[in-house]
Amino acid sequence: MAYTPSFINGARQITGRSYVAIVSGVSIPTNATDTGTYNIDFTNSPALQTITITGATLFSGVNYVAGGAVTLRVNVSGANAVPVRFPAVWSAGWVNTVPTGLAENRFAIFTLNTFTANDTGVACAWAVAP
């Protein structure tokens, strides 16, 4: 099941699941699973976001636009590492190794820039805090 972002009272919500506390205007399901998807909206999202993931998450994109830029601070909450996945079409746009997970109680800075109005123009970087 994909989680569809929407705005409720000015706060970004992802419908269909329970939520962790909203941080920087973004929330994500507390029970994300292998089929959980976090859609990054390149047109309507805040440029800087903080999210917390507790289960395997597929990052995806919507509303691609040339010149779009989003930076996420991705936190992992809990005692277990969390697998992360990305669209295969983004693989050509990574400036470093494509990550496969994030260790427990760590965070990563995930930066995305769009150079075209479709998913083939995404450039990504992922850096994990020590």
Q: Judge whether 4 and 18 are in contact, CB under 8 Å.
A: no
Would you kindly state where each structural domain of the chain is located, as residue ranges? 5-128
* Cβ-based burial of 67 (10 A; exposed 0-12, middle 13-18, buried ≥19): exposed
Query: Residue 117: how many CB atoms within 10 A of its CB?
Result: 15
Give the integer Cα–Cα distance in Å for 41 and 69: 10
pLDDT of residue 70: 96
- Match 């990574």 to its residue by tokens: 94
pLDDT in tens, 19-49: 333 333 444 444 333 347 899 999 988 999 9
Give the integer Cα–Cα distance in Å for 31 and 108: 20
pLDDT in tens, 46-102: 999 999 888 899 999 999 999 999 999 999 887 889 999 999 999 888 999 999 999
Nearest to 50 by CA among 74, 18, 81, 84: 74
Alpha helices in 2-45 (DSSP H): none
8: Cβ contacts below 8 Å, ≥ 6 apart: none
